[in-house]
Amino acid sequence: MKVSDFEIWWDDPDGNLFNCCLEHVLEYGDEDAKENTVIECSYCGKSMILFRCPDNILRWREHNA
């Protein structure tokens, strides 16, 4: 699947992603992505990881490496 096939986990209790992170996912969404893939927002520099949420759906969340 591709980067843009996955949503951002806006309800992440430990996360702090911004609208620009969503723009990055949509704009650069043609890259391949799978669970644990890490990308960086080209606007704000935040890292995001493709994470399996508690509802068993893969979503982007903030990644503090």
Report residue 48's pLDDT band, with 50, 70 and 90 as the boundaries. very high
Per DSSP, the three-state class of 54 is coil
| H or E segment and range at residue 21 | helix 19-27
pTM of the prediction?
0.91
C-alpha 31/C-alpha 25 separation (Å) is: 10
CA distances from 55 to 9, 22, 34, 58 (A): 11, 20, 17, 9
Q: Is the pLDDT of residue 59 over 90?
A: yes
Q: Tell me: the pLDDT tens digits for 5-41? A: 999 999 998 888 999 999 999 998 899 999 999 999 9
Is 64 or 47 the better-scoring residue by pLDDT? 47
Domain boundaries, the chain: 3-62
